Chain A
Amino acid sequence: MASSLIPAGDFRTSYAVDTTIFPTVTSRNFAIAGVVLCALAPFALNDYWMSMLIAIGIYGIAALGLNVLLGFTGQISIGHAAFFLFGAFTSAYLSSKMGVPAFFAIPLSGLVTALVGLIFGLPAARLKGLYLAIATLAAQYILLDFFARAEWFSGGSVPASAEPFSIFGYTFTGDHQYFYVVLAYVVVSFLLVTNMMRTRDGRALIAVRDHYLSAEIMGINLTYYRTLSFGIAAFFAGIGGALYAHYQLVVSYEGFGIERSVLFLAMVIIGGLGSVMGTLMGTAFVVLLPEAMEWLSAALRGGVIDQTLGLKNNITFVREIAIGVIIIAFLVFEPDGLAHRWHQIKAYWKFYPFSH
């Protein structure tokens, strides 16, 4: 798809040029402009919008990990929320109980979560498809039960507290400042994964996804790459969780059940399997959809439709149903995800007015 956008006469004469991160100069400029624009956002937006952007960033990093697993390696995990929470608790524990500054605690908890992910990824070496799904479901329940029992680690019924993020004695407080921490991690994470996909390891993951038997015949160690993919997925989930912990300053395992794991799957599928950029779009969609529905239901409340139908408090049920319907409609009409639609929009303007 992307290759169709490269202008005629633009030939690649070396491998280095062929594997560049951004296929065209314009796409690179757009990416840089996007980051600059985000960096300026705190000057224009209020707390509410900053918290939305922070949520998209934090969940986007975690969803990126899941996309490496699901979209690039073709493995499934329905325990992603548990890894996210593990990262959050680890960072909270490191920062408040061990005195590790949040600056170091965040990457460290990514690594610790990656180790845990490797352990739970072991069944992936032997299992595929639905069987693997059930095995990862076990991870979700085992980890949540661990959090409930390990009071030294998670605080048990008392939420764990995390220290605020600070660097060189300067503490990042409030959404407007913390946003820059998240933005830095988003940029680094997305560049890392895009970069990984052009290395031998990245291509090996894709080979495992596309045809594992052929990949094995080509000399790719299936067990190694499948487990590695779990480790990478857990690493990013851990980073996302750690960022969440230092944003909220408290971590509770309330609300991190199976439904949150499914939400991560929704982000990846809606964004586009195997698309780095799509992950961010899918996350934005999943984070903003309930909010958009909330604005809509707030506008409806007390209006003509509300009064004629006598909705009152039931308006929230309508809101929840609408969210479900939109997701179903989305999957029916846009099965390849937002990334695919984005490419089509780009292609349309590229060939305008001769597109069909």
Chain B
Amino acid sequence: MKITTLLGSAALALVLGASGAFAQSAIRIGHLADYSGGTSDVGTPYGQAVADTFAWINKNGGINGTKVDIETVDYGYQVPRAIAQYKKWTGSDKVAAIMGWGTADTEALTGFVAQDKIPFLSASYAGQLTDPTGAAGKAKAAPYNFFYGPSYSDALRAELTWAAEDWKAKGKSGAPKFVHMGANHPYPNAPKAAGEALAKELGFEVLPPLVFALTPGDYSAQCLSLKSSGANYAYLGNTAASNISVIKACKTAGVDVQFLGNVWGMDENAAKAAGDSADGVVFPLRTPVAWGGSAPGMKMVQEISKISDPSGNVYRPVHYIAGVCSAMYMKEALEWAAKNGGVSGENVKKAFYQKKDWVPAGLEGVCNPSTWTDKDHRGTLTVDLYRSKVSGATDGDLNDLMKKGTIKLEKVKTIQLPRKAEWLGW
């Protein structure tokens, strides 16, 4: 009995060891997604894009012929889950990099990834993540945090730049009034200081911020305050569901204000849910084009989309395209690292610094040219501003609504922000 047990465990050890050896020949990376938690509305298209892109990469030759072993885990936007999963990925067989998701996991893991030297490409665009050395003095150094797209602060800076021009173009006199709206939470508050500082500089009158919760609710009171304050431009800092409640309530209250959305606060699905109250909201995209837009790289995005939708008919929201870009940057970084000393965390980090105005091959016109340096992790300062156009009832399928043009995303302007040293890290 004892001998058989011993033999059995020895055999098991051999099998495990062998599978371990196989696993090492593939490149292991982790992927934290939120399909079921508080941010699943936007987490699903983004996470799907990352999963689809790596599946597509594996289908098309992998990383220099090596397959990527990506483990997608739905952590439900729960911090303890993200930490446990991270420890699993770094326990015995370290992953080369992690595709992260939101504020919750990114902030909780900042300390760990710096300690363990694992590049963490998040979809949290908080300004403090762009400072790899801590030189800006706003927060601790975040040397292993990366993201593709403008930071929350830079997106708001671009919107304010546009708003100042818009005010002049409309020929209005006096100082326009700007108000920051959102919950008292790290995510809506992230760009607040940056926005209010630039607004003052641009000649706005900055009103005291209006607070509304991150969850949908009745925000008539906030709309009445907004109306009586006479604000001209209002930034909505929350996520889509909560923002929709506000713009709907404000439409009912008859507030005449130009809403400025944030990158996760407005998209095609939100426009459908908000109906005609979403008409006219200006918001930033991380990509120059939306789904089906005319760009040479759009064909490849549509090919990638076929991984999870073989019919090719599904309309993908803006977050999907941003997810594809993020994953492709990671792919090319892994490629460089594999050729230059192996896919360790440190090499993958170095890989991000190799190119200037970097666009992943095949995605020309879809991903904005990005440059990361060891002193500045602001990949891109290009912000593409769009306006949502809703011209009718938004019941029914999103695919049809987009096809019929009931909901349209209309390009407003591309703002190229200057790379100011004093804007780094906040």
Interface residues, chain A, CB within 8 Å of chain B? 46-52, 55, 145, 148-149, 155-159, 161, 173-175, 248-250, 252-255, 287, 290-291, 294, 313, 316-317, 320
- B126 on interface, CB distance cutoff 8 Å: yes
Size of interface on B: residues with Cβ below 8 Å to A: 38
Give the complex CA separation of A259 and B412 in angstroms: 41
List, in ascending order, chain A residues with CB within 8 A of B83's CB: 51, 55, 248
Q: How far is the CB of A9 from chain B (nearest CB, A)?
A: 40
Which listed residue, A46, A158, A249, touches B138 by the CB 8 Å rule? A158
Q: How far is the CB of B304 from chain A (nearest CB, A)?
A: 18
Which listed residue, B87, B107, B115, touches A252 by the CB 8 Å rule? B107
A254-B79, A254-B108 known; A158 and B139 CB under 8 Å? yes
Give the complex CA separation of A290 and B80 in angstroms: 10
List, in ascending order, chain B residues with CB within 8 A of A46's CB: 91-92
- B140 on interface, CB distance cutoff 8 Å: yes
**Residue on A nearest B92 in the bound complex, by CB:** A46
B179-193 vs A, Cβ < 8 Å mask (1 yes, 0 no): 000001111011010
- B81 on interface, CB distance cutoff 8 Å: yes
List, in ascending order, chain A residues with CB within 8 A of B185's CB: 148, 157, 254
B244-270 vs A, Cβ < 8 Å mask (1 yes, 0 no): 000000000000000000000000000
Question: Can you list 24 A-B pairs, Cβ within 8 angstroms, ordered by A?
Answer: A48-B88, A49-B91, A51-B84, A145-B184, A148-B189, A149-B184, A156-B189, A157-B190, A157-B192, A158-B186, A159-B110, A173-B115, A175-B87, A249-B110, A249-B112, A250-B111, A252-B103, A252-B107, A252-B108, A254-B108, A254-B185, A255-B78, A294-B81, A317-B36
Q: How far is the CB of A315 from chain B (nearest CB, A)?
A: 8
**Residue on A nearest B35 in the bound complex, by CB:** A313
List, in ascending order, chain A residues with CB within 8 A of B140's CB: 161, 250
B35 x A316 contact (CB < 8 A): yes
With a 10 A CB-CB cut-off, give which of A50, A156, A255 has the most chain B CB atoms. Answer: A255
- B76 on interface, CB distance cutoff 8 Å: yes
With a 10 A CB-CB cut-off, give which of B84, B90, B115 has the most chain A CB atoms. Answer: B84
List, in ascending order, chain B residues with CB within 8 A of A287's CB: 80
List, in ascending order, chain A residues with CB within 8 A of B186's CB: 156-159, 252-254
A47 x B91 contact (CB < 8 A): yes
Give the complex CA separation of A47 and B87 in angstroms: 6
Give the complex CA separation of A254 and B140 in angstroms: 17
With a 10 A CB-CB cut-off, give which of A50, A149, A250, A317 has the most chain B CB atoms. Answer: A250
Query: Told that A291-B84, A313-B35, A313-B74 touch, could you supply 19 new A-B pairs with CB distance under 8 A?
Result: A46-B91, A47-B91, A47-B92, A48-B84, A52-B87, A148-B185, A157-B190, A159-B128, A159-B139, A175-B87, A248-B83, A248-B112, A249-B111, A250-B110, A250-B111, A252-B108, A254-B185, A313-B44, A320-B76
Q: How far is the CB of B25 from chain A (nearest CB, A)?
A: 21
List, in ascending order, chain B residues with CB within 8 A of A252's CB: 103-104, 107-108, 186
A157-B189, A159-B186, A255-B78 known; A316 and B88 CB under 8 Å? no
Give the complex CA separation of A230 and B127 in angstroms: 39
List, in ascending order, chain B residues with CB within 8 A of A159's CB: 107, 110, 128, 139, 186
Give the complex CA separation of A316 and B33 in angstroms: 11
A320 x B36 contact (CB < 8 A): yes
Q: How far is the CB of A23 from chain B (nearest CB, A)?
A: 35
Q: How far is the CB of B55 from chain A (nearest CB, A)?
A: 14
Within 8 A of A (CB), among B48-105: 73-74, 76, 78-81, 83-84, 87-88, 90-92, 103-104
A157-B126, A157-B190, A161-B140 known; A255 and B111 CB under 8 Å? no
Give the complex CA separation of A31 and B390 in angstroms: 68
Give the complex CA separation of A252 and B91 in angstroms: 24
List, in ascending order, chain B residues with CB within 8 A of A149's CB: 184
A48 x B74 contact (CB < 8 A): no
